[in-house]
Amino acid sequence: MRVEPAPAPLGYWSRALAVLRQVSGMPDYQRYLAHMAERHGGCPVLSEREFFDQYVNARYGNGASRCC
Amino acid sequence: MNRLLWLLVSLVGAAAWGVIALHRGETINAAWLVLAAVGTYLVGYRFYSRFLADRVLGIDPRRATPAERLNNGRDFVPTGRWVLFGHHFAAIAGAGPLVGPVLAAQFGWLPGTIWIVFGVVLGGAVQDFVILFGSMRRNGKSLGQMAKEEIGPITGMIAMLAILAIMIILLAVLALVVTNAMKDSPWGVFSILCTVPIAIGMGIWMKVIRPGKTVEATVAGIVLLVLALVAGRYVAQSPTLAPLFTKGGVAIAWGLMIYGFIASVLPVWLLLAPRDYLSTFMKVGTVVLLAIGILVVLPPLRMPALTQFIDGSGPVFAGKLFPFAFITIACGAISGFHALVSSGTTPKMIRRESDARLIGYGGMLTESFVAIMALCAATALDPGLYFSINAPLAALGGTVENAALHIRDWGFVVTPDQIRGLAQSVGESTLLGRVGGAPSLAVGMASIFSGVFGQHLMSLWYHFAIMFEALFILTTLDAGTRVGRFMLQELLGHLYAPLGRTSWYPSVILSSALVVAAWGWFLLQGVLDPLGGINSLWPLFGISNQLLAAVALCVGTTLIIKAGKGRYAWVTMAPLAWLLAVTLTAGWQKIFAADPRLGFLSHARDTAAKVAAGAIQGSTGARMIFNDRLDALLAGLFMGTVVVLLLASAREWLAVLRGRKRAESKETVFVESVYAS
């Protein structure tokens, strides 16, 4: 846990990466940081590794529901 | 201007249907199917889905969604509608819409096309949209929870058992599809085997070496996959390596079971998550590539519009056009499984209520288009070659020469050299009797891609298509075994509490082993079946998937009636009535039909007679008879479940409609959205 400043606005490349991540259900750390800065300014945030662990467990821990 | 545009779209769609309807004899171009489908989708989306959104469901863009109210930056996140559309599409589309239409192509291209296009506009997309909406109004509750809360606790329990049984059959049949694609194919076995260490490597990269760098790990993974694919050719040509990777069906089936067990016990970051990323990238990429390929090549469809097999004598699977075309094609027209995805992660990410129309209804239309493309790819093949791949070996007479004779008897011309030449061109020793749909789809896709990029890469494209199908089937196997394990643990927890603890290792191992044993049993049954297994298992899967759709439509109807919109309940009741007619007829025929190829019980009697006559060995016969009875029991169970569920729902509907119960559902209260202004 550490305090993180608000992230810089995204460029084209980062935005393309964000779309790729969100479409394929990958964790999006930048989006999480943006969310924390906007809603919970000053609160401690998870490190990238902690966020990855929690996100992957939340998404797949109960077995991902998917189609045939 | 706008009206003019829609008039034009409608006219083009109608004209394409006109060409299809008036077409006689000669081959028709895939372009007409694509035009008719897209025209119908656009009109259905613009008019019918808007009617559903505005009148039936009462979508309210001013109402805050769960993603907005419960935003936590993780699972509840407001997401742009096109991004979420892509995400939802990637979650619903899998092997189903690719394989079903290929199998149903034995009836010709016409029945599949009509069912896929009209089934989705009036049924499948409605189901997905209504369930997505219902879940969105209930903070992302699952289908089972909604069934329990809106209909009753017993219904919820039945729905959960049904989901578990369907999962088992689904996993078995998908595993059978991969087994048939991999057997006696060193190239296939090698490249598919390579996906496991590649995924594990990616997992370690994302977790330990460069935490959270998922995109770069996945791109590296794709590069490695392509290398494995190319290396597979050398393995297949090497006299020392090829025998190591040449395995029969039974060995591959056991390999898949061991894989499924290990994968469901390992931590998710190590295998499941990286494999899922890999397969999502590949899936979206290949579907786009296939769409471009079909639009560039515009292949003529060489299969007739209707074949003689609509009378039920088809070699790919037994049964008449009605009901079996509608059972064989589930995903792509209407798929109950989507109700699980539409009430899972997607509703928690919708930014505005009005986005649900594009994501729920539009996402399903897109899957339907994938099914149309698969149908085009399969029916563009020479019908003689199509049947040489898709009919079981026993029906073809075992050798290439016999196969050519049998296929000629069915009315299609093909020479032994053509059959051999095709196998050679895709780098396989034989394609004869490779039932299951995946190999013939791969041949179809490879021909289309070769048409764009040149003929010399045919064998590479074939194995690319096989690996692409195997990749997401294995992901489903992995994720599905895990889902089954959690459901089983929840059930076992009622018997002995510690068994319900999802992190207690003895319980994890026991329940994983039970789930794998359950689907493994059906998988082995399919591998050993002389009729190829698809004949008995695919209809069971279709029936169970349509049954789940019936469950979802019962829940959807209840939601609509309880919202006081009873006069519009026909939007879900009409597809429900159709599905009941289809599943109950098919179930009845699969159990009781007198033809031993079709009915499970008559097949058991037929086998018993053969054992008595000494044509089949006693122990083999006993196993086959047991399996027939098991299949019959399962089909009966599915039918019983759907009837009980319907009665329970109908009681609830009547209570509300007659005013005995207040029209009141468990929606969350209205909160104004900040996006409203």
Domain boundaries, chain A: 12-60
Cα distances (Å, whole numbers) of residue B337 to A68, B186, B340: 7, 33, 6
Shortest distance, CA A61 to any CA of chain B (angstroms)? 7
Q: Using the 8-state DSSP alphabet, how is residue B27 labeled? A: -
Cα-flanking dihedrals φ and ψ of residue B352, to 5°?
-130, 145
Residue A64 has pLDDT above 80, yes or no: no
Select from B74, B280, B337 the Cβ nearest to the Cβ of A24: B280
Shortest distance, CA A53 to any CA of chain B (angstroms)? 8
C-alpha Rg value of chain A to the nearest Å: 14
Size of interface A-B (CB pairs under 8 A): 135
Encoded amino acid at B218, one letter? T
Tens-digit pLDDT profile for residues B15-71: 999 988 888 777 899 999 999 999 999 999 999 999 999 999 999 999 999 999 998
Answer with the residue of higher pLDDT: B436 or B361. Answer: B361
**Cβ-contact B219, B274 below 8 angstroms:** no
Are residues A21 and B215, on separate chains, in Cβ contact within 8 Å?
yes
- Of A52-61, B60-69, B86-95, B139-148, which has the strongest mean pLDDT? B60-69
Tens-digit pLDDT profile for residues B61-106: 999 999 999 988 778 889 999 999 999 998 898 888 999 999 999 9
**Choice among A62-66, B487-491, B648-652 with the minimum mean pLDDT:** A62-66
Q: Which of B149, B116, B133, B162 is nearest to B58 (CA)?
A: B133
Residues 6+ apart with CB under 8 A from B66: B76, B136, B139, B140, B347, B348, B350, B668
Select from B74, B482, B541 the Cβ nearest to the Cβ of A55: B74
pLDDT of residue A1: 46
Q: Using the 8-state DSSP alphabet, how is residue A2 labeled? A: B
Are residues B280 and A59, on separate chains, in Cβ contact within 8 Å?
no
d(CA B354, CA B65): 10
Residues 6+ apart with CB under 8 A from B418: B382, B384, B385
Tens-digit pLDDT profile for residues B287-309: 999 999 999 999 999 999 999 99
Residues 6+ apart with CB under 8 A from B318: B312, B324, B535, B595, B597, B598
Cα distances (Å, whole numbers) of residue A28 to B77, B141, B319, B407: 11, 24, 49, 54
Interface ipTM: 0.84
Answer with the residue of higher pLDDT: B576 or B166. Answer: B576
Q: Which of B29, B572, B676, B88 is nearest to B349 (CA)?
A: B88
* Chain B residue numbers touching A63 (CB-CB < 8 A): 479-480, 482-486
Residues 6+ apart with CB under 8 A from B525: B533, B536, B537, B627
* Chain B residue numbers touching A55 (CB-CB < 8 A): 74
* Chain B residue numbers touching A65 (CB-CB < 8 A): 91, 340-341, 344-345, 479, 483
Query: Quick count: other Cβ atoms within 10 Å of Cβ A59?
Result: 19
Are residues B277 and A20, on separate chains, in Cβ contact within 8 Å?
no
Answer with the residue of higher pLDDT: B229 or B156. Answer: B229
d(CA B402, CA B76): 59
Percent of chain B with pLDDT over 90: 74
Collapsing DSSP to helix, strand or coil, B347 comes out as: helix
Answer with the residue of higher pLDDT: B260 or B456. Answer: B260
Encoded amino acid at A31, one letter? R
Residues 6+ apart with CB under 8 A from B208: none
Determine the residue of chain A that is closest to B70 in CA distance. Answer: A39
d(CA B204, CA B202): 5
Cα distances (Å, whole numbers) of residue B267 to A57, B208, B255, B263, B503: 9, 14, 20, 8, 11
* Chain B residue numbers touching A20 (CB-CB < 8 A): 215
Average pLDDT for residues A30-46, to the nearest whole number? 85
Tens-digit pLDDT profile for residues B192-206: 999 999 999 999 999
* Chain A residue numbers touching B86 (CB-CB < 8 A): 19, 23
Select from B74, B84, B170 the Cβ nearest to the Cβ of A58: B74
Could you tell me the two tokens for B274?
């990286």
Determine the residue of chain B that is closest to A65 in CA distance. Answer: B341
Query: Quick count: other Cβ atoms within 10 Å of Cβ B617?
Result: 11
**Cβ-contact B171, B476 below 8 angstroms:** yes
Select from A22, A62, A67 the Cβ nearest to the Cβ of B93: A67
d(CA B125, CA B274): 30
**Cβ-contact B114, B33 below 8 angstroms:** no
Which chain A residues touch B if contact means CB-CB below 8 Å?
A: 17, 19-27, 29, 31-32, 35-36, 39, 48-49, 51-68
The angle that helices B534-562 and B143-150 make with each other, rounded to 10 degrees, is 50
d(CA B467, CA B193): 10
Residue B654 has pLDDT above 80, yes or no: yes
Determine the residue of chain B that is closest to A48 in CA distance. Answer: B212
Are residues A23 and B73, on separate chains, in Cβ contact within 8 Å?
no
pLDDT of residue B27: 85
Select from A23, A63, A64 the Cβ nearest to the Cβ of B87: A23
Answer with the residue of higher pLDDT: B608 or B501. Answer: B608
Answer with the residue of higher pLDDT: B531 or B330. Answer: B330
For residue B28, the surrounding DSSP H or E stretch is: strand B28-29
Shortest distance, CA B62 to any CA of chain A (angstroms)? 21
Shortest distance, CA A8 to any CA of chain B (angstroms)? 17
Average pLDDT for residues B649-657, to the nearest whole number? 93
Give me the domains of chain B, ranges plus CATH numbers: 2-184+247-657 (1.20.1740.10)
d(CA B114, CA B629): 34
Q: Which of B374, B379, B385 is nearest to B425 (CA)?
A: B385
The structure's pTM equals 0.93
* Chain A residue numbers touching B84 (CB-CB < 8 A): 22
Determine the residue of chain A that is closest to B210 in CA distance. Answer: A49
d(CA B512, CA B506): 10
Average pLDDT, chain B: 92
**Cβ-contact B376, B447 below 8 angstroms:** no
Tens-digit pLDDT profile for residues B246-278: 999 999 999 999 999 998 889 889 999 999 999
What is B588-653 written as a DSSP string?
Answer: HHHHH-SSTTT-HHHHHHHHHHHHHTTSS-HHHHHHHHHHHHHHHHHHHHHHHHHHHHHHHHHHHH
Select from A20, A64, A67 the Cβ nearest to the Cβ of B215: A20
Q: How confident is residue B370, by pLDDT bands cut at 50, 70 and 90? A: very high
Determine the residue of chain B that is closest to A14 in CA distance. Answer: B215
d(CA B527, CA B175): 10
d(CA B633, CA B340): 25
Cα-flanking dihedrals φ and ψ of residue B211, to 5°?
-55, 130
Are residues B335 and A67, on separate chains, in Cβ contact within 8 Å?
yes
